[in-house]
Amino acid sequence: MYRMNDRNRRIGDMFSAIAPRYDLLNRVLSLRQDRRWRREAVAQIRPERGGRHLDLATGTADIALEIFRRNGGEAFVVGSDISLEMMRIGRGKAALAGKKDRIAFVRAPGEDLPFRDGVFDSASVAFGIRNVVDRERGLKEMCRVVRPGGRVVVLEFSQPEGTLFGALYRFYFTKVLPRIGGLLSKRSAYAYLPESVQTFPPPPEFAEMMRRAGCAKVDARPLTFGIVTLYVGEK
């Protein structure tokens, strides 16, 4: 196990506690949009076939498995996370998909990745960069382990603009979502979600953070009226 502080451990424990119903709640709470968002993120990864890829905050390995669906069986993926229980479920899904020999799971915080410089063709993180305690350091680590010309892809919640839709979304996200999460899993974890999104930098600020970390040509594209934003940077 690599260096983790107390906050890393608390976040890891929180996600381990909700791991058994994590996938179900993702589908329910996003109205199944989460799969489309992940497909769009993986479509930005290069090369389009094969390659070595890092999936940071891999969780139950949804992004990792989507990489195989798009890039083929010759791809190799390392899934990194701080939650052992989430990765245990991810390993099971990888085995069912026949990919257990093409994916490795490593417990490590985003701020301290145990990989050589430039060893991956891409690094991705979906709905996990919010949970990296030192976000700027985590982005620098993602850039460090990607080869020059490789891509860093980030998929993250954002706050949609617009008076009516924004107000409806905020009501759902802060009032309805935690209640549904509490009925099916742990309410505290689904109260943490809107809190962490509300304190996350707006897209222009986060894109600039990626540039400071070592990415160039950073593109920020809103999806589903700005509920999420897809960021793509090149090392």
218 in a structural domain: yes
Answer yes or no: is 11 within a domain: yes
Whether residue 179 is contained in a domain is answered as no
Q: Does residue 169 lie in a domain region?
A: no
Helices (H), 97-162: 135-144
In a domain, 219, yes or no: yes
The pLDDT tens digits along the chain (235 residues) read 457 788 888 898 999 998 999 898 889 888 899 999 999 999 999 999 999 999 999 999 999 999 999 998 899 999 999 999 999 999 999 999 999 999 999 999 999 999 999 999 999 999 999 999 999 999 999 999 999 999 999 999 999 887 688 788 888 888 887 888 777 777 777 778 888 888 999 999 999 999 999 998 899 999 999 999 999 999 9
The DSSP secondary-structure symbol of 220 reads E
H helix count then E strand count, the chain: 10, 7
- Given its phi and psi angles, is residue 31 left (phi above 0), alpha (psi -120 to 50 degrees) or beta? left
The confidence score (pLDDT) of residue 1 equals 44
Q: Is residue 101 part of a domain?
A: yes
Nearest partner of 225 among 171, 182, 163, judged by Cα: 163
Residue 152 maps to a domain:
yes
Domain extent for 116: 6-159+200-234
| Helix (H) / strand (E) containing 155 | strand 146-157
Query: Residue 34's domain is classified under what CATH number?
Result: 3.40.50.150
pTM value is: 0.93
Residue 86 within any structural domain of the chain = yes
pLDDT score for 214: 96
26: closest CA among 80, 77, 86?
86
CB 135 within 8 A of CB 208: no
DSSP 3-state assignment of 127?
coil
Residue with tokens 């929180």: 14
Number of domains in the chain: 1
**Tell me, what's the pLDDT at 2?**
52
